[in-house]
Amino acid sequence: MKSLLGILTACHLLLLPFGATANEEAIVNAGFNPLAELGRERRRQVQVRQALKGALEQAEAGDDSLAAMLEACADYLVNSMGRLDLTDMNIHDLLKERVPQDNAEVHEALGALSARQHKARTETAVLAAALDTYRENGRTGFAAFDRALRHYHAVVSEMMTPRKNPFSPYTDKLFTFDDWTNIAEASAETAAAEDRLFDAITATAPEDLKPDSFSGTHGMRP
């Protein structure tokens, strides 16, 4: 089996087997490829965060001119970060189980990763609550929702800064293709949900902020 490629971010393990970022046509042509879908999810999440960054820079705090787009971005990120957390915790748990217990360095790193994941999970729950409140109030109180989204964007952008992955020697050796498929937990239903949320951003964003116009590369580069 080909070597597996791993990229660790400060908050999340973006660990994918080599070739998992195959284009979307491969998903259709193969019926459904869960690993290709996982790669697509993660690339598009970066595109959404890049589009959101542009929107927050374009609109002053409290300016609701891009309210529909910001709401769609928040909706997308709550779902997408939940998916990312689920899959990354699957990776974490499998490594914790398979890496020898006497390898203290790796298990210490896994503990630190778990703590960062917990922080991201907590921040996502706060954003989800702010989004729910905004909608329950008939989309009044935009300023409070805007503050919550700006805070979330700042925190997650800091946590998602790419860093060297210390676990790739272990994922390369210990994970099989079937492991990666189980880790992904992707399905036609998860793909359809992601499509719907991504399309909602595209429909509400100005031409220069549509997520497809961004690179989807890590480090938030355009």
Q: Give the type of residue at 99.
A: V
pLDDT value at residue 25: 44
Tens digit of each residue's pLDDT (9 = 90 or more) over 134-166? 999 999 999 999 999 999 999 999 888 666 677
Question: Measuring CA to CA, which residue among 100, 53, 79 is closest to residue 191?
Answer: 79
Show the DSSP H helices in the chain as ranges.
24-29, 34-58, 67-98, 104-136, 142-159, 168-174, 177-184, 188-204
Tens digit of each residue's pLDDT (9 = 90 or more) over 182-219? 999 999 899 999 999 999 999 999 999 999 999 888 65
Q: How many CA atoms lie within 13 A of 75 on its CB side?
A: 20
Angle at 121 between CA 86 and CA 123, to 5 degrees: 150
Tens digit of each residue's pLDDT (9 = 90 or more) over 31-74? 678 888 888 999 999 999 999 999 999 999 999 999 999 999 99
CA distance 110 to 116: 10
| Cβ burial, residue 107 (10 Å; 0-12/13-18/19+) | middle
- What is the CB neighbour count within 10 angstroms for residue 134? 22
- E strand or H helix that includes residue 102: none
| Chain position carrying tokens 């492991």 | 179
| Chain position carrying tokens 């690179």 | 215
Joined tokens for residue 62: 């409290």
Look up the pTM and report it.
0.84
CA distance 207 to 40: 22
Tens digit of each residue's pLDDT (9 = 90 or more) over 90-112? 999 999 999 999 999 999 999 98
- What is the CB neighbour count within 10 angstroms for residue 130? 20
Task: Give how far Cα 140 sits from Cα of 133, 136, 193, Å.
Answer: 9, 9, 26
pLDDT value at residue 219: 53
